[in-house]
Amino acid sequence: MWVIELKKSFLNKSALIDQIEKQAKVGYWVLQLATETTIWSEGTYRIYGIDPGKPSPSKTEYFQLVHPDDVEYDQRLHEHMLEAFPEGQIMAEIGGKIVGYATSIIVQLDDETQYYTYNEITGSGTFSTHDPSGDTLYGADIAVHPDYRGHGIAGKLYVYRRKLMKRYNLRRMVAYGRLPGYQHYAGKITADEYVNRVQSGELKDPALTAHLKAGYLVKRVLYKFFRDDFSMNYCTLLEMPNPDFSATKRRIAASPIQRPVRKFRVCVAQYHLRRIDTWEEFENTIEFFVDTAATYHCHFLVMPELFTAQLFSTFPRDWDDRRSVEELANMADRYQEVFRQKAMQHGMYIIGGSHPIRRNGKIYNVAHLFSPAGNIYTQDKLHITPFERRVWGIEPGEGLRVFDTPLGRIAIQVCYDIEFPEVTRLLTLAGSEVIFVPFSTDEKKSYFRVRYAAHARAVENYLYVILAGNVGNLPTVRSYLINYGQSAVLTPSDFSFPLHGIQGEAEPNVETVVISELDLSSLAQQRDTASVRPLYDRRLDLFELRAKQKIDVVRVE
């Protein structure tokens, strides 16, 4: 990285440019920081160009300015950026102090630009997606130190980018801009209305106003392209066409960045509770569902709530309900080991319904997630029905968890929990795309209470909700005499989803499975572009939803 120092005496713009060109190395672009009038009272102007063979002594300071919390990690990250496309990374320095920077890469994007994510375009910030044969300059990041804003630095950074675009004969320049000023208007006007007012000059936004002055055009307002609390997670899709672009001179040698197709297949059990005499019979039934899921190449198998209550029929008939639940809790290790082995054997994620777990002398109804690596993750049932409290002595659980699997972020809400919309919304805002609902209901009214609530959660939050339930009866078990259920895969209600918002469902009250594929890529697009956007159009000026306890995002391995 090399440096040019410009004395303040160069107040004539053309003379200044001549001096820059004399000092600049051949083949590299420079940034013009000086204007026709003096802005600062002392010091010189320094312009950074890129020379990979000569590391700059100010590189560490640059990293500290950009990401002060983790210098070592970010230094390595920015080294990746410099190696990928050194000409696209520039810094501005005044009097020995770094006051601004801009980063960019060349990529090939398709026409559906609004559907890309930052990580897709930038290779999770490493710039590994840089493609010299692409036709789009992507402005990844730009910033000016707060103490030096309003002096035209950002404009000069944009000038450099425009020159870069023309030098490489790129069709356009694309960026996604923050809206930090929107936090003062959220709830009063929509993000689109705010952008329109900034464009008309009625309002000013620290970021968007600078983009508009630079010549960008607003193509679209996006939600959750990246996380930014100051912008209320909104941003603008910006585009600047290159008026000098020559399509005939540019040979496109690479295809657009391919978005990962995020799909996975689920097998949803509808479990028939019937009398058994031994643990081996119970395990054989589990084997049937696991083998079925494996035969149909499913990534997830979902079992119902407390289906292990089938083991009640192996206990002495004179035991009361609480004693039976206590004994079932004593079998937790055996239950966990069976599913752990099955998950490892078949390379499958298994949501093993729920099972009573004893902690500190109390019994909890706990859902389990078993991973192909042999790890076990749990989610307590949070809301306990009067029957569970009174008859079985089950206590309300603790904690909200989102499970970050390689296939997508999921969460588990056990039966009654899905009837509390606040919980599902919190899990959605924490990143959940699929909610698995193991349930157990005795008759139709109970079932439809869960079913209608679950479908409402799918519509409200634009996510998939998976219901897995018990059917059949246990004539000798007083607390599990009858069961009614219909396992189902529920979706939001819009053009991209099935007409009735049901992607698959079983015939009621028979032992079977539902097998369905969930398209998370389409789901993510629909959250932003569907006929209605419940996550986008919330009235934050009228209400607020906050978790009183931290929602744990658990990495599943």
| DSSP code string of 299-346 | SEEEPPTTGGGGGGGGS-TT--HHHHHHHHHHTHHHHHHHHHHHHHHH
The helix or strand, by DSSP H or E, that contains position 157, with its residue range, turns out to be helix 153-167
- CA distance to 28, 205, 327, 430, per residue, from 227 (Å): 34, 18, 47, 11
Q: What is the DSSP-derived secondary structure letter of residue 389?
A: I
Question: Which residues are the active-site residues?
Answer: 305, 381, 415
User: What's the whole-model pTM score?
Assistant: 0.64
Q: What is the chain's pLDDT, residue by residue, as a tens digit (557 residues)?
A: 333 343 333 334 344 444 444 443 333 333 333 332 222 222 333 444 434 344 443 444 444 544 455 545 466 766 777 788 888 888 888 877 888 888 999 998 876 655 677 788 888 888 888 888 788 999 888 888 888 888 888 888 888 888 888 888 888 999 888 899 999 998 889 999 999 999 999 999 988 998 898 888 999 998 877 778 888 889 999 999 998 887 765 544 344 555 566 889 999 999 999 999 999 999 999 999 999 999 999 999 999 999 999 999 999 988 988 999 999 999 999 999 999 999 999 999 999 999 999 999 999 999 999 999 999 999 999 999 999 999 999 999 999 999 999 889 999 999 999 999 999 999 999 999 999 999 999 999 999 999 999 999 999 999 999 999 999 988 777 767 789 999 999 999 998 899 999 999 999 999 999 999 999 988 988 888 888 999 989 998 899 999 999 999 999 98
CA distance 367 to 362: 16
- CA distance to 88, 180, 368, per residue, from 66 (Å): 16, 18, 41
pLDDT of 146: 85
pLDDT of 34: 34
pLDDT of 36: 29
Backbone φ and ψ of 374, nearest 5°: 90, 10
pLDDT of 301: 98
| DSSP code string of 405-473 | ETTEEEEE--GGGGG-HHHHHHHHHTT--EEEEEE--SSHHHHHHHHHHHHHHHHHHT-EEEEEEEEEE
**Residue (of 503, 492, 487, 507) closest to 268 by Cα position:** 487
- CA distance to 39, 182, 208, 214, per residue, from 203 (Å): 26, 10, 10, 17
3-state helix, strand, coil in the chain (%, to 5): 35, 25, 40
Amino acid (one-letter) located at 479: S
Residue 17's Cβ-count burial label (10 Å; 0-12, 13-18, 19+) is middle
pLDDT of 256: 52
Structure tokens at 241: 């066409």
Amino acid (one-letter) located at 44: T
CATH code reported for the domain at 264-530+538-555? 3.60.110.10
**Residue (of 527, 531, 510) closest to 519 by Cα position:** 527
Backbone φ and ψ of 498, nearest 5°: -55, 155
Give residue limits of the domains in the chain: 2-249, 264-530+538-555
CATH code reported for the domain at 2-249? 3.40.630.30
Residues 6+ apart with CB under 8 A from 513: 267, 268, 269, 270, 289, 292, 293, 487, 506
pLDDT of 78: 67
